[in-house]
Structure 1
Amino acid sequence: MPGVREKTEELIDLIKHSKEYRSYNELRAFITHESGIRDRIDSFRRDLLTAQNDPGSDPETFARISKEYEDILENPQVAEYLSAEQAVIQMMRDIYERLGSAVALDLSFLGEVKELNI
């Protein structure tokens, strides 16, 4: 197990020094100091995540959310921040998928899982 822990620490270091993560952190520092913008971004992200996880959401739902938050979405720094955040999320998703597909676990006991509330 020490080898796995050591490699995990190496991976963490690689992630923290990646272009994607550095860019995200720089933009996050700016957004954090802009409380009005930060609150709007957080609200936008909550509404978007809720819509993405609601099977009943249709294109009109997403259009309404885009319209409601148009003021911040047109801000170039906000757009850059959200893009950087997505790049980090995608990087992490890719890592999780690679690990999950490479390390087989018997999860048949779960049966058909309808919904996971994480």
Structure 2
Amino acid sequence: MPGVIEKTEELIDVIKQSKEYKSYNELRSFIAHESEIKDRIDHFRHDLFVLQNTAGDHREDFEKLHQEYRDILDDTQVMEYFSAEAALIHMFRDIYDRLGSAVELDLSFLGEVKELNL
């Protein structure tokens, strides 16, 4: 296992040197120092998470949510932060997918998972 840990540390270093991580980290630092904006972002994310993980048709609720948080959603730096975060998450998802398919972990017991309610 020491070799795996060593390679994991190397991967962490490569991720931290990536443009995706650097961009995200720079914007995250900016947002962290803007407490009012950070609070609004956190509330928006919470409300969005709840909507996305609740069964039903929420088109009107999504529209109301976007109206309620229009101030931050129209902020260029906030949207750049969301985009940078999405790029980093995409990188992580790609890494997880590659690891999962290479290791061939037997997850057949899951069957076809259609929906996760957290």
TM class by shorter chain equals 0.7 to 0.9
Show the counterpart of 2:20.
Answer: 20
Structure 1 segments, 4+ long, off by >3 Å, are 107-117
TM-score (norm. length: structure 2) = 0.86
SS in 2 for 1:105: coil
SS in 2 for 1:56: coil
| Alpha-carbon distance in structure 1 between the residues aligned to 2:99 and 2:66 | 34
Output the amino acid matched with 1:43.
H
Contact 1:51 1:57 in 2 (8 A): no
Whether the 8 Å contact between 2:54 and 2:117 is mirrored in structure 1 is: no
Inter-partner Cα distance in structure 2 for 1:10 and 1:70: 40
Unaligned runs of 5+ in 1: none
The answer to whether structure 1 residue 3 and structure 2 residue 31 are counterparts is no
**Partner residue, 1:40:** 40
Q: Which AA in structure 2 matches 1:60? A: E
Deviations 1:41-95 (A, max 9, x none): 0111111122222232432222221111001110111111111111111111111
Which stretch shows the higher mean deviation, 73-82 or 45-54? 45-54
User: Structure 1 vs Structure 2: percent identity of aligned residues?
Assistant: 66
> 2:73 maps to which residue?
73
Task: Check if 1:86 corresponds to 2:86.
Answer: yes
Gaps of 5+ in 2: none
Tell me the CA shift for residue 108 of structure 1: 4.3
Is residue 2:103 matched to residue 1:97?
Answer: no
What is the aligned partner in structure 1 of residue 29 from structure 2? 29
Structure 1's 57 and 35: CA in aligned 2 closer, same or farther, altered over 3 A? farther
CA distance in 2, matches of 1:11, 1:33: 29
Alignment CA distance shift 1:57-1:111 (3 Å) = same
TM-score, scaled to structure 1: 0.86
Match in the other structure for 1:64: 64
The alignment covers a number of residue pairs equal to 117
For the aligned residue pairs, the C-alpha RMSD in angstroms reads 1.9
